[in-house]
Amino acid sequence: MYTPEQRPSDLVKDDLPDVDSPSAVPSEDEVLEALKDVVDPELMVNVVDLGLVYGVQIDDGANATIDMTLTSPTCPLTDKIEYDTKYVLEGLVNSATINWVWLPPWSLEMITEDGREQLRAVGYNL
Q: What is the DSSP letter of 80?
A: H
Closest CA to 92 of 27, 2, 40: 27
| Model confidence pLDDT, tens digit, residues 43-64 | 999 999 999 999 999 999 999 9
Structure pTM?
0.78
Higher-confidence position of 42 and 9? 42
Q: What pLDDT score does 11 carry?
A: 60
Let me know: does 16 contact 27? Beta carbons within 8 Å: no
Q: What's the mean pLDDT when you consider all of the chain?
A: 88
Please state the φ and ψ torsions of residue 81, each to the nearest 5 degrees.
-65, -40
Residues 28/32/99/91 CA torsion (nearest 10 deg): -80
Percent of the chain clearing pLDDT 90 (strictly above): 71
Q: What pLDDT score does 126 carry?
A: 81
Q: Among 8-12, 62-66, 119-123, whose mean pLDDT is lowest? A: 8-12
CATH superfamily for domain 28-113: Fe-S cluster assembly (FSCA) (3.30.300.130)
Q: What pLDDT score does 5 carry?
A: 67
